[in-house]
Amino acid sequence: MSEQTGTKPRLRLAGPARPLAPTGPKVADGLSFKGGRGADMLIRGAHVFDPREGLDSVLDVIVRGGEIAELGAGLSAPEGAEVVEAAGKHLLPGFVDPHVHLRTPGFEYKEDIESGTRSAAAGGFCLILAMANTNPPVDNSGLLRSLRMRAAAEAHIPVGFSATVTKGMKGEELTEMADLADAGAACFTDDGLPIADAGLMRLALQYQRLAGRVIALHQEDPALTRDGVMHEGAVSAALGFAGVPAVSESTMIARDTLLAEYEDARIHVQHLSSAQSVETVAAAKARGVKVTAEATPHHLSLTDEAVGDGTDANFKMNPPLRDEADRQALIDGLRDGTIDCIATDHAPHAAHEKEVPFEQASMGVTGLETSFPVVYSDLVVPGVLPLALVVEKLTCGGEPFGLPAPRIAGGAVANLALIDLDATWTVGEEGYESRSSNSCFAGRQVNGRVLMTLAAGVVAFRARSFAVQEVGA
Amino acid sequence: MRHLLGIGDLSRDQIERLLDRADSLAQLLERENKKLPTLSGRTIVSLFFENSTRTSSSFDLAAKRLSADTVSIRAQGSSVTKGESLRDTVQTLSAYGPAAIVVRSPFVGAPGMVTRWTDAAVINAGDGKHEHPTQALLDAYTLRNRLGSLDGKNVWIIGDVLHSRVARSNILALTKLGARVTVCGPPTLIPREIEALGCSVSYTLEGSNEADVLYVLRMQNERMAAGDNFIPSVGEYAKRFQINGERLGARQLLMHPGPVNRGVELSPDVVDAPQSLITEQVAAGVVVRMAVFYELLAGRGEPEGGQKRATAVAPMPDGATR
């Protein structure tokens, strides 16, 4: 790492951006990455599993200069290549997360680009999109460019930076969306806040014809949410918490899918949480509206029952955990394609922001390091969803934003996650790579451990217990 | 029982044991010297992050009658109301080695969080809109004294259920003791899915004449943000839900946790009507809170010598028979 971020962000504004991935393979336009030496390795005997490529067998994989050079049986290591003994392990395409809060600038005490991308790499991710609700928000191209420069120095995996739809995220005026697009905005979003004003939302959708890029939407009607802190239902009634009704989300999705249809615009709905929301997206898709949607591992795995006695704010997030029928609807939505991808909404917060009464605590949970293990343990192991579907949904998170899913194929850039599906571990027991530890899965025993991640051809993560084994002669 | 955080954590047996204890303490209090030596040398801290008159004075008196030393922290309006310092405050107060900390907070779950930061027994004196367990215990005690048993009794809880921790604790306590509870009020003040607590819901007073008890809640204006239009007007509310001389049957009992908004949820004349148990409720507060201290603390070792925790409940002082 060339730089450590202090508590006060100092962004270098001068000087040309470094070339992306100086020696490794190129990453897509708009992505920022510190790069590194393209890997040379033989991954021997892994169960190679890429449903899109129809791969589901034990193979050797040779990576040269960060590209997948060869797949086959009984391959021998090229000179100088590391040999990774991977028998009994699964080699998957690297995961893509379109919804990560890197908290930089302004909240580096929660997370920064270095720690957040390290956390992502440890979770098997090879590409993430960073949200723009920072302080200040990413609402101008100068800030966006400086963030990309910072990421070019310290991001362990490629990062796409989003920019806000409205200035200062105030929901009043549009940002210079065309300039921001030129500066490399991966998408536009006021994530963290809804765009409450339907008229302004419509203007943003119209302006998309000029600026391009997808508009990603945090859907919530503040007039319905009011002071709600968890899902409105039996649990909130018993605990005396003000509830966030499911209709706070679904009515906004209805509004914006209708607006997108009217303006022929392209939207992405973030973190679906309720059955009504899934139905609303499905209905819009059936009408041909250009809408995609995501769901988080915590909404797929937990319900409002997890809030328990209301003394653990690690179960407080927005949207809130909802009821079992909602959770089932999300799972069905993944199965039938209404929900395009799984996204973590990784939202780190410091201990002092969570160790307070639930109603006062910040909203959000970390998710990068637990995404695959939780979805695998709670949905694949019990037979609810096939591994192939889960792998597709964890790897295609860039597609709504024009970023193709990683694939395991000769000639492709090596974006790979090597995973021991049988390994069991306890979340949080050995700490986290993230700067924050606000996981709603802390203490849970899960299956599936990421051993190594290659992102854009570079080794971005290697588990401590999974060291370099041998170098080919 | 280590702490008293909510009625939700208690079994019927535990509730009845507390009420029985209150009964025997009430007998002792009929003597001239009302002071018992039970908690002599022990410290009880009360930490109130919200205004309170009757609850705090009643806890204070209960502790003094058991000879405990008491410290009252009123954090209302000070920097301590910010949740960030709840932990610091509790850890600081714990340095005094209190046997119990009584906590009132505007936030749900705060007393439960306090248990993580102290060795003291923690007593919930009201947490947000969640629970107010000692209120429900004193209400159950008052009703049991009057009715003998709550089994099969029909209780209506009327008014602003949405903002009421008293309602939640009472629904739980009264149903656990065998009563049938109906909550009644305008739909905007009844939380969705409140039936999960074991009560039924009515949006009119129709049928309330069959109730044995009308438990009327205070309209919690202080818990409503400005501009919240939960009811169109106090007048319309009173017309439909106020309990007045006509709506209170001769054989029905009337309860209210206080303080009463006269002319809103109750007409002035019924407050002092013979059916009213409001004064008895206040009186029961002291003896029930004494029972809570007794059950939580009397069987446990001195705080200073925390290791030697007696398991048996200490005998009643002064050779009392229970």
Interface test with B, best of A232, A303, A309, A326 (most B CBs within 10 A): A309
Q: In tens digits, what is the pLDDT along chain B, a chain of 322 residues? A: 899 999 999 999 999 999 999 999 999 888 878 889 999 999 999 999 998 888 999 999 999 999 999 999 887 655 544 544 788 889 989 999 999 999 999 999 999 999 999 999 999 999 999 999 999 999 999 999 999 999 999 999 999 999 999 999 999 999 999 999 999 999 999 999 999 999 999 999 999 999 999 999 998 776 666 667 899 888 999 999 999 999 999 999 999 999 999 999 999 999 999 999 999 999 999 999 999 999 999 977 554 433 333 333 444 444 343 3
Nearest chain A residue to B228 by CA distance is A226
Residue B194 with chain A: CB contacts under 8 Å: 237
Answer yes or no: do B130 and A240 touch at CB < 8 A.
Answer: yes
Which structure tokens are listed for A439? 């996981």
* pLDDT given for residue A14 in this prediction: 40
Domain ranges of chain B: 7-132+285-310, 133-280
Residue A239 with chain B: CB contacts under 8 Å: 108-109, 130
Q: CA–CA separation, B174 vs B177, rounded Å?
A: 5
Cis before B257? omega within 30:
no
Q: CA–CA separation, B151 vs B180, rounded Å?
A: 8
Which structure tokens are listed for B282? 């206040």
Which structure tokens are listed for A354? 């969570």
Residue A236 with chain B: CB contacts under 8 Å: 191, 193
CATH numbers and ranges of domains, chain A: 41-92+414-471 (2.30.40.10), 94-401 (3.20.20.140)
pLDDT tens-digit series, residues A203-246? 999 999 999 999 999 999 999 999 999 999 999 999 999 999 99
pLDDT tens-digit series, residues A404-428? 999 999 999 999 999 999 999 999 9
With contact defined as beta carbons under 8 Å apart, do A343 and A99 qualify?
A: yes
Interface test with A, best of B82, B103, B108 (most A CBs within 10 A): B108
The CA distance from B232 to the nearest CA of chain A, in Å, is 18
The CA distance from B177 to the nearest CA of chain A, in Å, is 18
Among partner residues A242, A309, A355, which is closest to B112 by beta-carbon distance? A309
Give the other-Cβ count within 10 Å of A7's Cβ: 7
SS3 A370: coil
> Domain spanning B7-132+285-310 has what CATH number?
3.40.50.1370
Radius of gyration of chain B (CA): 20
Bridge partners, residue B45, by sequence: B71, B101
Q: CA–CA separation, B278 vs B255, rounded Å?
A: 5
Helices within A309-438 (DSSP H only) = 324-336, 351-354, 371-375, 387-395
Which residue among the candidates A97, A345, A378, A420 is catalytic per the annotation? Answer: A345
Give yes or no: A179 in active site: no
Within 8 A by CB and 6+ apart from A203, the residues are A174
* pLDDT given for residue A8 in this prediction: 46
Answer yes or no: do A359 and B165 touch at CB < 8 A.
Answer: no
Among partner residues A234, A239, A357, which is closest to B113 by beta-carbon distance? A357
Residue A64 zone, left/alpha/beta (φ > 0; ψ -120 to 50; rest): beta
What SS3 string covers chain B?
CCCECCHHHCCHHHHHHHHHHHHHHHHHCCCCCCCCCCCCCCEEEEEECCCCCHHHHHHHHHHHHCCCEEEEEECCCCHHHCHHHHHHHHHHHHCCCCCEEEEEECCCCHHHHHHHHCCCEEEEEEECCCECHHHHHHHHHHHHHHHCCCCCCEEEEECCCCCCHHHHHHHHHHHHCCCEEEEECCHHHCCCCHHHHCCEEECCCCCHHHCCEEEECCCCHHHCCCCCCCCCCHHHHHHHHCECCCCCCCCCEEECCCCCCECCCECHHHHCCCCECHHHHHHHHHHHHHHHHHHHHHCCCCCCCCCCCCCCCCCCHHHCCC
What CA dihedral angle connects A348, A350, A352 and A353, to 10 degrees?
Answer: -30
Using a CB–CB cut-off of 8 Å, the residues of B that contact A are 5, 8, 82-84, 86-87, 105, 107-110, 112-113, 127-131, 165, 168, 191-194, 196-197, 225
Angle formed by the axes of helices B133-147 and B54-65, nearest 10°: 80
The CA distance from B103 to the nearest CA of chain A, in Å, is 13
A223 touches chain B (CB under 8 A): no
Positions in chain A whose pLDDT score sits under 50:
1-24
* pLDDT given for residue A469 in this prediction: 62
Fold classification of B133-280 (topology level): Rossmann fold (3.40.50)
* pLDDT given for residue A220 in this prediction: 97
SS3 A175: coil
Strands A188-189 and A341-342, sheet pairing: unpaired
With contact defined as beta carbons under 8 Å apart, do A118 and A416 qualify?
A: no
Answer yes or no: do A357 and B108 touch at CB < 8 A.
Answer: yes
Answer yes or no: do B225 and A311 touch at CB < 8 A.
Answer: no
In Å, how far from its chain's centre is CA B113?
19
Q: CA–CA separation, A459 vs A464, rounded Å?
A: 13
Interface test with A, best of B105, B107, B163, B176 (most A CBs within 10 A): B107
Nearest chain B residue to A359 by CA distance is B107
- Single-letter amino acid code for the residue at A284: A
Answer yes or no: do B109 and A310 touch at CB < 8 A.
Answer: yes
Which structure tokens are listed for A40? 């040379």
Cis before A406? omega within 30:
no
* pLDDT given for residue B76 in this prediction: 62
Answer yes or no: do A310 and B130 touch at CB < 8 A.
Answer: yes
Q: CA–CA separation, A62 vs A408, rounded Å?
A: 11
Q: CA–CA separation, B219 vs B224, rounded Å?
A: 10
The CA distance from B272 to the nearest CA of chain A, in Å, is 31
SS3 A383: coil
Angle formed by the axes of helices A275-286 and A324-336, nearest 10°: 30
Nearest chain A residue to B8 by CA distance is A238
Which structure tokens are listed for A237? 């009634």
Whether the domain at B7-132+285-310 and the domain at B133-280 fall into the same CATH topology: yes
Answer yes or no: do A237 and B191 touch at CB < 8 A.
Answer: yes
Nearest by Cα to B131 from B161, B104, B105, B166: B166
* pLDDT given for residue A466 in this prediction: 72
- Single-letter amino acid code for the residue at A361: A
Q: CA–CA separation, B88 vs B93, rounded Å?
A: 9
Residue B105 with chain A: CB contacts under 8 Å: 357
Nearest chain B residue to A232 by CA distance is B192
Torsion sign over Cα A32, A37, A42, A46: negative
Which structure tokens are listed for A158? 């490629």
Within 8 A by CB and 6+ apart from A430, the residues are none
